[in-house]
């Protein structure tokens, strides 16, 4: 089992992006997916960083793919998606319509917000050229194991959401803009104020969700820190780590060490992310927010 880093979900400045990928190149992860995943309006602010980041990551020996948006509706977004296929990198589709732009049989990856729930879907995608699939975070371990077996037979590496706030929903409406009484078209990029997303609490003060523009994530950090052996036994090829603003290189190193047998990953994560809440219910077939194997 190895480590993949997914695309950054949040709106960071170009400088933050540059520093993030420069530091990531030094970490023991095998592959990185880069690109704008959540909102097409953000891309012009940081897209000039992509070529340099790709080069640095490739120089460091990492496989690099470029992601599609998670929800493609506008004509401009469809053109952007078509352009991805011209970049000379594998495309990770996070909206099925991106497949339209990939020549039949050309290899591609599938991201965690494409619905791959069963063998039939995995096999259909494999026939179209999928070589790597990150499964939806809500899947229980029994499904993960069945899909890892099907993936093995079909030549598809199966990846699982390993670390990060889980992407729970995507909408046509921007909740950051709505919180500022603005429409999406006049958002003034307020999501940039919250580099790990904006906290949403229940009325009695419980931390619950995170708003990130048109995306909604869980507030607790989903982690498989307590389930690594079960995932290895299930035949999972990689764990996906999702970018966050603080301590990410250290977090990646902690997962790499745990894959090599280092003990107490949950304890290490708690030290690296003071005050964070963690959860791991989805894999156990429980509410995603539950803590089951974290000890």
Partner 1 sequence: MMELVCPAGTPAALRAAVDAGAHAVYCGFADETNARNFPGLNFSREEMAEGIAYAHARGAKVLVAINTFPRAGDQPIWHRAVADAERCGADAVILADLGLLAHAAERHPGLRLHLSVQAAAANPDAINLYAEAFGVKRVVLPRVLTVEEITAINREIDVETEVFVFGGLCVMAEGRCSLSSYATGLSPNMNGVCSPASHVAYAEQSGAQEARLGGFLIHRTPKGAPVPYPTLCKGCFTSGEQTGHIFEDPVSLDATRLIPALQKAGVRALKIEGRQRSRAYVGQVVRAFCAAVEAADKGQPMPEGLLAKLTEGQAATTGAYAKTWR
22/198 with CB nearer partner 1: 198
Contact segment (CB under 8 A) with partner 1 among 26-34, 45-53, 161-169, 266-274 equals: 161-169
Contact positions with partner 1 (CB under 8 A) in 214-233: 216, 218
Contact positions with partner 1 (CB under 8 A) in 92-131: 95-101, 113, 115, 117-125
- Tell me how crowded residue 280 is: count the other CB atoms within 10 A of its CB: 23
32/209 with CB nearer partner 1: 209
Query: First vs last Cα of the chain: how many Å apart?
Result: 22
Q: How is residue 231 written in tokens?
A: 């995932």
Q: Phi, psi (5° rounding) for residue 138?
A: -80, -5
Distance between CA atoms of residues 128 and 19, nearest Å? 36
54/98 with CB nearer partner 1: 98
Which residues, 6+ apart, have CB-to-CB distance to 231 below 8 Å? 1, 141, 144, 160, 224, 239, 283
153 part of the interface to partner 1, by CB under 8 A: no
32/234 with CB nearer partner 1: 234
Contact positions with partner 1 (CB under 8 A) in 260-289: 281-282, 285-289
Distances (CA, A) of 220 to 162, 204, 206, 291: 13, 17, 11, 10
As measured in angstroms, the least distance from the Cβ of 115 to partner 1 is 6
141 part of the interface to partner 1, by CB under 8 A: no
Contact positions with partner 1 (CB under 8 A) in 194-213: 198-206, 208-209, 211
47/286 with CB nearer partner 1: 286
- Tell me how crowded residue 223 is: count the other CB atoms within 10 A of its CB: 27
3-state SS, 23-79, equals HHCCCCCCEEEECCCCCCCCHHHHHHHHHHHHHHHHHCCCEEEEECCCCCCCHHHHH
246 part of the interface to partner 1, by CB under 8 A: no
Contact positions with partner 1 (CB under 8 A) in 48-67: none
Q: Which of 185, 263, 274, 295 contacts partner 1 by CB under 8 A?
A: 185
- Tell me how crowded residue 60 is: count the other CB atoms within 10 A of its CB: 16
Distance between CA atoms of residues 48 and 57, nearest Å? 15
Contact segment (CB under 8 A) with partner 1 among 12-20, 58-66, 75-83, 236-244 equals: 75-83
């Amino acid at each position: 089992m190895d480590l993949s880093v997914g695309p950054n979900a949040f709106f960071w400045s170009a400088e933050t992006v540059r520093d993030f990928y420069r530091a990531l190149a030094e970490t023991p992860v095998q592959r990185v997916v880069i690109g704008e995943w959540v909102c097409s309006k953000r891309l012009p602010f940081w897209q000039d960083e992509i070529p340099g980041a790709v080069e640095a990551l490739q120089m460091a020996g990492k496989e690099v793919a470029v992601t599609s948006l998670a929800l493609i509706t506008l004509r401009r977004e469809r053109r952007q998606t078509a352009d991805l296929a011209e970049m000379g990198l594998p495309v990770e589709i996070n909206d099925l319509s991106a497949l339209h732009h990939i020549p039949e049989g050309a290899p591609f990856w599938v991201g965690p917000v494409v619905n791959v729930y069963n063998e039939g879907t995995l096999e259909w995608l494999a026939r179209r050229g999928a070589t790597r699939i990150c499964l939806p975070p809500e899947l229980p371990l029994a499904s993960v194991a069945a899909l890892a077996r099907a993936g093995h037979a079909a030549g598809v590496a199966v990846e699982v959401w390993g670390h990060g706030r889980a992407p729970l929903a995507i909408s046509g409406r921007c909740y950051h803009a709505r919180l500022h009484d603005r429409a999406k078209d006049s958002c003034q990029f307020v999501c940039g104020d919250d580099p790990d997303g904006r906290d949403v609490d229940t009325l009695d003060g419980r931390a619950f969700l995170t708003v990130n523009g048109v995306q909604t994530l869980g507030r607790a950090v989903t982690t498989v820190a307590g389930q690594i052996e079960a995932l290895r036994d299930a035949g999972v090829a990689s764990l996906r780590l999702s970018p966050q603003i603080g301590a990410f290189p250290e977090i990646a190193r902690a997962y790499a060490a745990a894959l090599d047998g280092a003990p107490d990953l949950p304890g290490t994560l708690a030290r690296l992310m003071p005050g964070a809440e963690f959860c791991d219910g989805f894999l156990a077939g429980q509410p995603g927010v539950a803590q089951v194997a974290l000890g």
